[in-house]
C-alpha cells in the first residue's frame, strides 16, 4: 500500500478506526476487527506488525481512560502467567502447524459464544478468584495469544463465566492485555519485524485510532452489564469466525 494512494489510505483508516472502536468498547479484539479490513489491502508481513503497534496505542489509551477501575495488583499473577505462556508459544509457532491450532481455537470461540448468547448470565462472582487459577488462565491466554494474536480471549471468557460486572472485568483484564501487547511488540522490535514505513503509517492514522478508541470508551461507559456481555460474546463469535475462515 502506498501512502499516496488515497483509496488504500482511506480503507486502512476505516479498518484502524473500527478496530480501535471495538477495542475501546470491549478491551480486546483490535487485530481481529482491523485485520478483516487491512489484510485486503496490505500484505500480512506489513499488516500484522502495524496492527500490533496500533493495538498497543489503543490499549494504552483505554488503560489511561479507565484508570479509575484498573487494578494492577489484582492482575499481577495473570500477567506473570501470560508472560510465561508466551515463551512456549514462540517455540510452537515455528514447530507446529499454527493454522490448525487457530482453526481449532476459532471453532471453540464460535461454539462458546453462540451457546452463551442464548444462556442467561451467571450471578456476580464478587471477589477475585484464587491465585493459582489466575496464573493458569494467564498462562493459557499467553499461550493462545502467541499463536492467534488474541491473548485476551481466554481471560475475557473466564470473566464472563464468573459473571464479573463490566468495570471489574475491564479493570482486571485491561492491564493484562496491555502488558501482553507490549511484550509481543518488544519481541517484534527485537526481531526487526516492524519497519519504519509501518511506523509512518501508524503516525498518519493516529487521529483515526484515537477517535475510535475514545468513542469506544464513551460507549462502554454508557451501556449496562447485560448489553456489554452480549457485545463481548458477539465479538468473540466474530473473532472465532475470522480464525476459522
- Give domain limits for the chain: 6-244
Tell me which H or E stretch contains 200: helix 196-204
Question: What pLDDT is attached to residue 209?
Answer: 93
Spatial separation of the C-alpha atoms in residues 152 and 47, rounded to whole Å: 20
pLDDT along the chain (245 residues), means of 10: 65 92 92 84 75 86 89 86 88 77 90 87 57 90 84 90 88 89 77 66 85 96 93 93 86
Which pTM does this prediction carry? 0.84
Spatial separation of the C-alpha atoms in residues 27 and 112, rounded to whole Å: 19
pLDDT, tens digit, 9 for 90 and up, residues 161-186: 888 889 989 988 889 988 988 887 77
Which residues, at least 6 apart from 231, have a Cβ–Cβ distance to it below 8 Å?
A: 25, 26, 223
The residue assigned the cell 498518519 is: 204
pLDDT, tens digit, 9 for 90 and up, residues 121-136: 655 555 556 788 889 9
Amino acid at each position: 500500500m502506498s501512502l499516496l494512494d488515497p483509496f488504500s489510505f482511506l480503507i486502512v483508516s476505516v479498518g484502524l478506526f473500527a478496530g480501535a472502536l471495538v477495542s475501546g468498547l470491549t478491551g480486546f479484539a483490535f487485530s481481529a476487527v482491523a485485520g478483516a479490513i487491512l489484510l485486503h489491502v496490505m500484505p500480512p508481513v506489513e499488516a500484522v506488525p502495524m496492527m500490533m503497534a496500533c493495538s498497543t496505542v489503543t490499549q494504552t489509551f483505554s488503560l489511561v481512560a479507565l484508570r479509575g477501575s484498573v487494578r494492577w495488583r489484582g492482575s499481577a499473577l495473570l500477567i506473570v502467567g501470560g508472560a510465561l505462556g508466551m515463551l512456549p508459544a514462540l517455540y510452537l509457532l515455528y514447530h507446529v502447524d499454527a493454522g490448525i491450532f487457530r482453526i481449532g481455537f476459532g471453532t471453540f470461540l464460535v461454539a462458546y459464544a453462540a451457546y452463551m448468547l442464548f444462556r442467561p448470565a451467571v450471578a456476580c462472582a464478587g471477589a477475585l478468584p484464587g491465585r493459582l487459577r489466575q496464573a493458569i488462565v494467564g498462562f493459557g491466554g499467553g499461550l493462545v495469544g502467541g499463536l492467534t494474536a488474541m491473548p485476551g480471549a481466554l481471560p475475557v471468557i473466564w470473566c464472563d463465566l464468573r459473571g464479573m460486572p463490566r468495570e471489574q472485568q475491564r479493570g482486571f483484564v485491561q492491564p493484562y492485555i496491555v502488558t501482553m501487547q507490549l511484550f509481543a511488540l518488544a519481541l517484534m522490535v527485537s526481531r526487526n519485524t516492524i519497519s519504519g514505513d509501518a511506523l509512518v503509517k501508524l503516525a498518519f492514522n493516529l487521529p483515526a485510532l484515537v477517535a475510535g478508541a475514545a468513542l469506544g470508551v464513551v460507549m462502554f461507559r454508557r451501556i449496562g452489564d447485560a448489553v456489554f456481555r452480549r457485545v463481548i460474546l458477539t465479538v468473540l463469535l466474530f473473532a472465532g469466525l475470522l480464525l476459522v475462515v
